[in-house]
Structure formats: C-alpha cells, structure tokens
Chain A
Amino acid sequence: MNVEKKHFTCIVCPIGCEIDVELQNGNVVSINGSKCEKGKEFVLQELEEAMRILTTTVPVKGAKWAMLPVRTDKPVPKRLLSKVIEQLADIELHAPVKMYHVIVKDVAGTDANIVATRNMKKVNQRKDAKEAPVSRKEG
C-alpha cells in the first residue's frame, strides 16, 4: 500500500492551523490539527487544486493616480496566477472607472473576472464641492 503524509498551514483565518494529512493510494484517510471544518475543506481543496485570490494593478489614464487596483472576483488556481498576470500586461484603462467594473471576463480561462476594487474619477471632472484641487505627487 502506498502511504503518503502531507503537511499544510491553513490560510483561511489568522490562526494558521498546522494540519497533517495521511493519504493511502491517493485517498485521504486522516486530517489532524485543524481547529475547524473550514480547515479540513481548505486541505481537501489544496490537495485537489490550490486556489488563491489574485490582487494586482493595471495602468489607468486620465486619473489622479497611475494605477488602478484590481482583483479576481473569486479564487483562481494557484498554478495559473502567472498566466492571469500575463493576460493583464497589455491592458490600459481610461478613467472614470467604477468599483467592480469588469475589466477582463473569464481571465486565463479560470471562469473568474478581473474587477476594479475602487472608483477612479477622471481628473478634469471634479464637480464635487467637497473636494479640493488636485496636486499630483508631491514628495
């Protein structure tokens, strides 16, 4: 019989449980060290396919700042993170951009979308009286 032991540190919450898994012929026979059910789910998912949320930035023109923060709207396979990043390499947006605006659909075939994580106003459209004039990048 082929017995295999694997170790994981859970990343679901800040506790970071140290979880040991025992596999026999590829089947899970025990999971030890997890303080909650979510830890067990995490380990099973890691064994099947490690999934991560990706956060990064894309350039945006006509805004106060050079970069717009974005994220995947759900976890994507860890092994595809670099593919996702590559697909974002040539993107350039123009302000205004609304938060949760979809920038890339089904990025790198992951079924996840890349969405903006903030509102980005166009710089010359500043009618909001509460806001003061722009001074870009001092110091």
Chain B
Amino acid sequence: MDVEADVTVIGSGPAGLTAALHAHESGAKNVLLLEREEELGGILKQCIHNGFGLEQFKKDYTGPEYAERLIEDLGKTNVQYFLNTMVLSLSPDKAITAVSPEKGLFHIKSRSVVLAMGCRERPRSSINIPGTRPAGVYTAGVAQRFVNIDGYLPGKQIVILGSGDIGLIMARRLTLEGAQVKGVYEIMDYPGGLKRNIVQCLNDFDIPLYLSHTVTEIQGRERVKGVVVSKVDQKMNPIGGSEQFIPCDTLLLSVGLIPENELSKEAGIELTPITKGPVTTETMETRVPGIFSCGNVSTVFDLVDYVAETGMIAARNAARFAGGDWKKGKNPVEIIPGENVRMLFPQRYSFKDDLILFVRCAKPIEKPVKIELSPLEMRLKRLYARPNEMIRLKVSRDKLKDVTGPIEVSITER
C-alpha cells in the first residue's frame, strides 16, 4: 500500500498535533499525522498536572485537557491520522516507510515532512551511578506513566535524583498517593526545574531539596534498599567523607531529556551536539530541503507553549514548501553562541520569516541583563537570566534583512 500526502507530521504530541492543525490551516490540502501509540497526544496524556497552555490559550489546562482541545480541533479538519503506526525509516528525498497492524508495511510519499518525535529521558546508564542493579530504579517519566495511567505505585519510600520539572512534579504526585518522598538531590548548585514547581511541589509538602548533592551508590540485591548520597564540590566531584546512607525502596531519576533523532540521522539530517537536535533555520527547515523539525526533537523546551509555537512555524513553512511557494533566496547566515550563552535555537537565519530565537544562558545572573545580537544594533532587556529558564526573543524580518555575516548572541549584565 502506498500513501501520498502534501505534509506528513511524525509524532502527535503537542508539537505534532499543533503542526498538523496548522499545516491544514496554512492551506495544505492533504495532511497526514503518524502516531506510534494507540491514541493521539503523546506524553500529554500522562502529564495530569495543570500549567499547560498559559500563553497559547490563556488557560490553565492539565496535559490531558490540552491534548483533548487540540484533538477536538483536529477532528473538525480533514487531517488524516494513522495510529499504532511506527515510522521505520525516512530518506533524504522524504520517502517514509512505516508499519502498522492494519496496513502492514507501507510507504508514504510526501511533499514535505515535519519531525515531531519529541524526546526521551536519560536513563541510569547515562550518568553511571555505581552499585548493584536491583529493581526499583525508574526514570521519573516512567514512574509518572505507572501512577497516572496504569495505576501502580512504584514504591513507598522514594529518593529523587535530579530536580528537573518531571522529578518535582512526581515528588508531589507520589506524596499525594501516599508514598514518602525523602528528598530531591540535585548535583548543580541551582535547581533544574521552574521555581513555581519548587514551591508547589516540594515546599507545599515539606519535601527537602538538597543542592550540590548526588547519589554515589545504589544498594540492594533484589530491590533497592537504599542509596548513598554525597555532597559535590564546584567541579561536581563527590566530596569524600560527606557520604550519607538514605534507606528507600525506590530511586527516581530526573536527570535530563535527549531529543529523539534516530530517524533524522537516517535521513542524513545534520544534528548539533549543543541541542542534540537538527540544525534548523527560523522556518524550522533542517539541512535537508523540505524536512522541518519542531518541539522537543529540535531542542528540549521548558514550556509546552514554546513547543507548540515551533510546531506552528514548522507547519506554516512545510505547507508553503508543499505548495511550491519556496524560493531558494539568500544564503542563510549562522547564529552563534557568544558570551554566557549555553544553547540557542534555531542555529541559522534564512531571511524567509521573523526570527523567533530561544536561548539559554550558561551562568545565572540574578540582575537585569541585556541580550545582544551582534552585529545588529539591538539590545533586548530582561530582568534576570537563569540556565533553567529558556529566553524567547522575537526579531522581525525587517531588522535582519541587511545582515551578511554570522549573528552572535550574548547575555550579559546591564
């Protein structure tokens, strides 16, 4: 069986759902959405907490409500979607091979493609915690799925390593379900998650947060019996003599997310080690013409609103590409990190659209900062800069039209 489409979106989380809707709204006639699982919505289905869509819809939705709203909107369009459909390969000329129980192995020919596969959690093996290998070590997202969808409590006495938002949210969730969360341990000297989550997920429930601490050993044969935590020095090395044994039956890991780019690699799409996602322009086009990428497959965002926004941009441009309204135009210029910039996205500017730029600083500055885009005569101001909070900037196409060389971004004190 062969399928043809104008725009094909891979993945139906917040980025993919938004992209499919906006590809349709931008005039693409034949939009196809592919989802590996048995229902649309991706990770939103298990994120039962509120705080979704504050900017996009001016509403305080939970993850499932946010997904249902997009799914409902999608139902009013003629966008086709295939569930239980796993994309096996994507070629540089945009040929997709997929498989599903209904259709078996099949091929899709699409004028343009939007990548929206999201990200994965970093597992225990990526941070090399010494010790035994008992049951009871889970990533925070897996525990979230167990509790919120399958109805299992992963343990009763819980230690959480890493203070990313999912870890903080799970600290509250497990407490509400009757488990005892003994503490959240963070290797950095600042928390990974948003401040509001520290307050409403930890402080509200008297759960302690230990900064500059890490787990240095897991103990237990069949099941986790406890973990050893240690203080770390400024180079993040454990300090000898600071070890403390914490009895527990479960260790949750909230130690970061990695964009899921197996398909992108196969399509010959250039990735960057800074975001671990594709190199893209402001249109979200990757280095392979007609393949766009958006959401957490591009770079791990803090807010779903940003994920959705990149989905809209990618979809609008994928629809233009599919419709033949895509001129080569001026050669793109690079956007490069300067002083105190750890991450930026997108990495190129191609003079086709306004630039929505996402940057993350390297070191926190709790004072008013200026963000400069040299050589542009522009200084954007913010009240502070924190590595755990992405900064979003908008620069109009008009201001960028005369740029010839690379644009260097810096974040410094005002």
Q: Is the CB of B64 within 8 A of A69?
A: yes
Do A117 and B389 contact each other (CB < 8 Å), given the known contacts A57-B148, A69-B148, A71-B50?
no
A65 engages B150 (CB within 8 Å): yes
Contact indicator A13/B102 (Cβ below 8 Å): no
> Does A52 belong to the interface (CB within 8 Å)?
yes
When chains A and B are docked, how far (Å) is the Cα of A78 from the Cα of B64? 23
Greatest chain A CB density within 10 A among B67, B176, B177 is at B176
User: Known contacts being A69-B62, A78-B204, A99-B65, is A9 close to B150, with CB within 8 Å?
Assistant: no
* A50 CA to B204 CA, complexed, in Å: 10
> Does B100 belong to the interface (CB within 8 Å)?
yes
**Interface-forming stretch among B6-14, B87-95, B192-200?**
B192-200
What is the CA–CA distance of A123 and B302 in the complex, to the nearest angstrom? Answer: 35
Question: In whole angstroms, how far apart are the Cα atoms of A121 and B327 in the complex?
Answer: 46
Least CB distance from A80 to B in Å reads 13
B48 interface hit (Cβ, 8 Å): yes
Residues of A within 8 A of B48 (CB): 55-57, 69, 71, 117
A28 to B212: give the CA distance in the assembly, Å: 36
A53 to B198: give the CA distance in the assembly, Å: 16
Tell me, in angstroms, the Cα distance from A32 to B390 when the chains sit together.
Answer: 25
Chain A residues within 8 Å of B225, by CB: none
- Main SS class of interface, A: loop
**Chain B 45-69 interface mask (CB, 8 Å, partner A; 1/0):** 1001110001000001011110110
In the complex the two chains form, is A117's CB within 8 Å of B148's CB? Answer: no
How long is the Cα–Cα vector from A11 to B196 in the complex, in angstroms?
5
A94 within 8 A of B: no
Q: Is A37's CB within 8 Å of the partner chain B?
A: no
A41-81 near B? 1/0 per residue, CB < 8 Å = 00000000010111111010000111101010000001001
CB distance from A50 to the nearest CB of B (A): 8
Cα A9 to Cα B194 with chains together (Å): 11
Question: Which residues in A have their C-beta under 8 angstroms from that of B393?
Answer: none
B102 touches A132 (CB 8 A): yes
* CB atoms of A56 and B176 under 8 A apart: yes
Please give the distance in Å from A123's CB to the nearest CB on chain B: 11
> Are A117 and B150 CB-contacts (below 8 A) given A35-B383, A85-B176?
no
Q: Which residue of A lies closest to B69 (CB)?
A: A99
Whether a CB of chain A sits under 8 angstroms from the CB of B101 is yes
Nearest-neighbour CB distance to chain B for A95, whole angstroms, equals 14
Q: Which of B84, B102, B194, B204 contacts A16 (CB 8 A)?
A: B194
The chain A residue with its CB closest to the CB of B67 is A118
Per the bound structure, the CA–CA distance linking A135 and B84 in Å amounts to 10
Q: Which residue of A35, A65, A67, A117 is within 8 Å of B62 (Cβ)?
A: A117
Q: Does B329 contact A (CB under 8 A)?
A: no
- 18 additional A-B pairs beyond A15-B383, A69-B48, beta carbons within 8 Å, are A14-B194, A35-B383, A55-B49, A56-B177, A57-B147, A57-B151, A59-B151, A66-B149, A67-B148, A81-B176, A99-B64, A117-B48, A117-B62, A118-B67, A119-B68, A132-B38, A132-B83, A135-B84
Which residues from chain A sit less than 8 Å from chain B, CB to CB? 9-16, 35, 50, 52-57, 59, 64-67, 69, 71, 78, 81, 85, 99, 117-119, 130-135, 137
| B interface, CB within 8 angstroms of A | 38-39, 45, 48-50, 54, 60, 62-65, 67-68, 81, 83-84, 100-102, 147-151, 173, 176-177, 194-196, 198-200, 203-204, 302-303, 383, 389
A-B contact pairs, 7 of them (CB 8 A): A16-B194, A55-B49, A57-B148, A66-B150, A81-B176, A119-B68, A132-B101
The 6 A-B pairs of least Cβ separation, nearest first, read: A16-B195, A66-B151, A118-B64, A69-B48, A11-B196, A132-B84
